[in-house]
Structure 1
């Protein structure tokens, strides 16, 4: 996709001239190193604190929109693009510190709504400041605000799904909290009220994705826990909203830094696998003798179709925060883009890698491309056709407290392989 007249920045890691000695005299040659071509969708150097980027057709026009959260400012950005450019609308009524959204027709009236996880307060705290908010959209496009659940610890995620098989939408909630927290689900009753059910009474839940792990017709939950747990868990559903914990991966240390989670059929065998990252740079208890590039990274859990999982290493990289599956090079197979959060004052002297592209060259064999001096602090991505040109687009956002250079609130990234030419 190309969007004009948006600012177009070509990320050039280096350029060089070389002699080509096939003929006499030598030809003059040049090259442009591999990198990402960047189209800035929303230019705002003062608000590069994007927490999450997610796509969905909020206005029902058949085209994917971009919803991005700005918790420091207390609003959600609703960005709509076409081949001529993008427009942005700010949604803020009833929100305090939104961190994640989901586009879903929650009341099943034919108009998509916006479900929002509101963390309430950003610093570590056990204050009951979290909430789950629904921005309900009517057929005329007007929004009304409704708080579905509040008075709980800091909320990191809220995902709507029919967890008990009764035909209406329930909500799984990550009550991250601090020392106290939980994984819980909100059962929607016939009168529209919600009854909370605790699934796991531990803090630190970051992501929770409903999916049918074992092909039994009901929705299980893939959940990542940080804090002192550092786990990837499967909560297996019996079909009536009763969940049994199965730990798929557990670190043997507290400084693992669990960060990201994706549910995706990475091996293309028809069932969903799990991709996770660990690289929370703010987990400050990493021992001095541990090199962060050896500890942090990305891996995937292969599903055999029955909900049994086998772990495979993907890459080691300091500050790995998210790993997004995406056909970056257009060859028909799925690559992975890893975004990192590497603060300059943490782990001084450790070389920085801003982005990693894992190029799938066949049979899930990946060639690694490290990109330095590239797009910094990219902690969130989503993929979809945002401009209606028939091509999937990779959109990401940066999260940094200041204008550190090469950071963007909302951009599209297109992979550019190395180019070599001779004259």
Structure 2
């Protein structure tokens, strides 16, 4: 365990942005460009291979902790913060290449556990190296490792929820694989064992989130498929764990680059909508005549409350990897922060935009702010009050994959609007 204060605060300056002044301020005026103020949360900032950042109260102290996965290092970082600083503990027992976590009281004993999706191997492969692992935490805070399911293709996600309505927690699993894979769920039996049920026998599942799409009292699944499918799907539950596929969005292009998925009530009408991004820069088959800033981007699917969805465009930006809802400017409505993954070697000469803030100015009308030369390779965010000050914090991590640039393993980001003052 390592203890340290917040180490560094940097103001990331942006280039000319949408929504800024059309002309430079007069010479007698001073100012600060808009951008994100970045606060380092961990001391070892050089291991910038963060795959996922997620919050949850793992130790049950009433404050949100930060769980971030480091698949290249084979561990999960458990970071706890207060107004004086942060403490980091490394969890690695029984893990190979963890990519996703969920804080959940899986055995319902009153102590939160950590469910881990372990991809096993990062490069594309059909090796059966994936697993679902539970780090079970007892009342004294000790962890024990239990592999709940193994011998399957690369696991990209594992989410616990009661999918069959019997009172215990089951698990939906994204078996991304490569040429082979599936979406499946693990039914928890009375003796604590798990029975696998295949939902979709196709590879490329990235995200699967249980939610009640149609307000019928059971949990449906929002799932994104990449590889050759390039879909956002709803798997509608009959209440007993039988799922029917409804495709909400499908691209006809194999180079679409499906990447991120969020389930969130974006329009504030009481039902959950779906936000998705397409921007997998490593989908290498983009035709030369296609401009990546036109092809990649973010959109959302509006739920009418019955599980019927209407698509709305949000923004086009190369390498869009995630779009996180967050009230960045503190005005009471929900903005969106888009993180990108852009590599010079993939599209040399194409201008890079590191982050995009979509500022909600009312009625889901967004003003776009492009941030360049700022926070690179930011592919994952989560939102919550990590220091107990009563305000929601935006926390993110970079996955550099050996590329140069201004990147950080785990940071808090605070929006700084453009300020101009004159004598």
Change (3 A) 1:350 1:24: closer
**Structure 1 contact 172–208 (Cα < 8 Å) conserved:** yes
**Structure 2 contact 14–371 (Cα < 8 Å) conserved:** no
CA offset at residue 264 of structure 1?
Answer: 0.1
Q: Which whole-Å deviations, capped at 9, do the CAs of 1:69-112 have from their partners, x for residues lacking one?
A: 00000000000000000010000000000000000000000000
**Structure 1 contact 51–380 (Cα < 8 Å) conserved:** yes
CA offset at residue 200 of structure 1?
Answer: 0.1
Change (3 A) 1:310 1:194: same
**Structure 1 contact 186–196 (Cα < 8 Å) conserved:** yes
Change (3 A) 1:364 1:140: same
Distance (whole Å) between structure 1 residues aligned to residue 103 and residue 158 of structure 2: 11
Distance (whole Å) between structure 1 residues aligned to residue 98 and residue 200 of structure 2: 23
CA offset at residue 395 of structure 1?
Answer: 0.0
Task: Give aligned pairs, total.
Answer: 423
* Larger deviation, residues 217-226 vs 26-35: 26-35
Distance (whole Å) between structure 2 residues aligned to residue 216 and residue 77 of structure 1: 37
- SS of 1:164's partner is coil
* Partner in structure 1 of residue 324 of structure 2: 324
Change (3 A) 1:5 1:214: same
Change (3 A) 1:219 1:14: closer
RMSD over aligned CA atoms reads: 3.3
- SS of 1:203's partner is coil
Change (3 A) 1:189 1:289: same
**Structure 1 contact 20–28 (Cα < 8 Å) conserved:** no
Distance (whole Å) between structure 1 residues aligned to residue 336 and residue 253 of structure 2: 26
CA offset at residue 24 of structure 1?
Answer: 19
Change (3 A) 1:91 1:302: same
Q: Which whole-Å deviations, capped at 9, do the CAs of 1:292-346 have from their partners, x for residues lacking one?
A: 0000000000000000000000000000000000000000000000000001211
* Partner in structure 2 of residue 196 of structure 1: 196
CA offset at residue 15 of structure 1?
Answer: 9.4
Change (3 A) 1:218 1:15: closer
Distance (whole Å) between structure 1 residues aligned to residue 401 and residue 61 of structure 2: 35
Change (3 A) 1:172 1:16: closer
Distance (whole Å) between structure 1 residues aligned to residue 192 and residue 130 of structure 2: 20
Distance (whole Å) between structure 1 residues aligned to residue 25 and residue 113 of structure 2: 66
CA offset at residue 129 of structure 1?
Answer: 0.3
**Structure 1 contact 20–26 (Cα < 8 Å) conserved:** no
Give the TM-score, by structure 2 length: 0.96
Q: Which whole-Å deviations, capped at 9, do the CAs of 1:156-203 have from their partners, x for residues lacking one?
A: 000000000000000000000000000000000000000000000000
CA offset at residue 20 of structure 1?
Answer: 17
- SS of 1:15's partner is coil
**Structure 1 contact 395–413 (Cα < 8 Å) conserved:** yes
Distance (whole Å) between structure 1 residues aligned to residue 248 and residue 19 of structure 2: 53
CA offset at residue 8 of structure 1?
Answer: 3.2
CA offset at residue 21 of structure 1?
Answer: 16
Change (3 A) 1:142 1:26: closer
**Structure 2 contact 12–38 (Cα < 8 Å) conserved:** no
Matched, 1:354 2:354: yes
Change (3 A) 1:272 1:15: closer
Change (3 A) 1:304 1:413: same
Change (3 A) 1:31 1:174: same
- Consecutive unaligned residues in structure 2, runs of 5 or more: none
- Consecutive unaligned residues in structure 1, runs of 5 or more: none
- SS of 1:27's partner is coil
Distance (whole Å) between structure 1 residues aligned to residue 20 and residue 219 of structure 2: 59
Change (3 A) 1:204 1:180: same
Distance (whole Å) between structure 1 residues aligned to residue 25 and residue 315 of structure 2: 44
Give the TM-score, by structure 1 length: 0.96
CA offset at residue 39 of structure 1?
Answer: 0.4
Distance (whole Å) between structure 1 residues aligned to residue 275 and residue 20 of structure 2: 43
Change (3 A) 1:146 1:416: same
Q: Which whole-Å deviations, capped at 9, do the CAs of 1:206-246 have from their partners, x for residues lacking one?
A: 00000000000000000000000000000000000000000
- SS of 1:293's partner is helix
Change (3 A) 1:28 1:311: same
Distance (whole Å) between structure 2 residues aligned to residue 293 and residue 136 of structure 1: 44
- SS of 1:6's partner is coil
Change (3 A) 1:22 1:184: closer
CA offset at residue 421 of structure 1?
Answer: 1.0
**Structure 2 contact 343–403 (Cα < 8 Å) conserved:** no
CA offset at residue 137 of structure 1?
Answer: 0.1
The 5 Å alignment of 1:17-96 reads 28-96=28-96
* Larger deviation, residues 226-235 vs 15-24: 15-24
- SS of 1:294's partner is helix
Change (3 A) 1:19 1:412: closer
Distance (whole Å) between structure 1 residues aligned to residue 76 and residue 373 of structure 2: 29
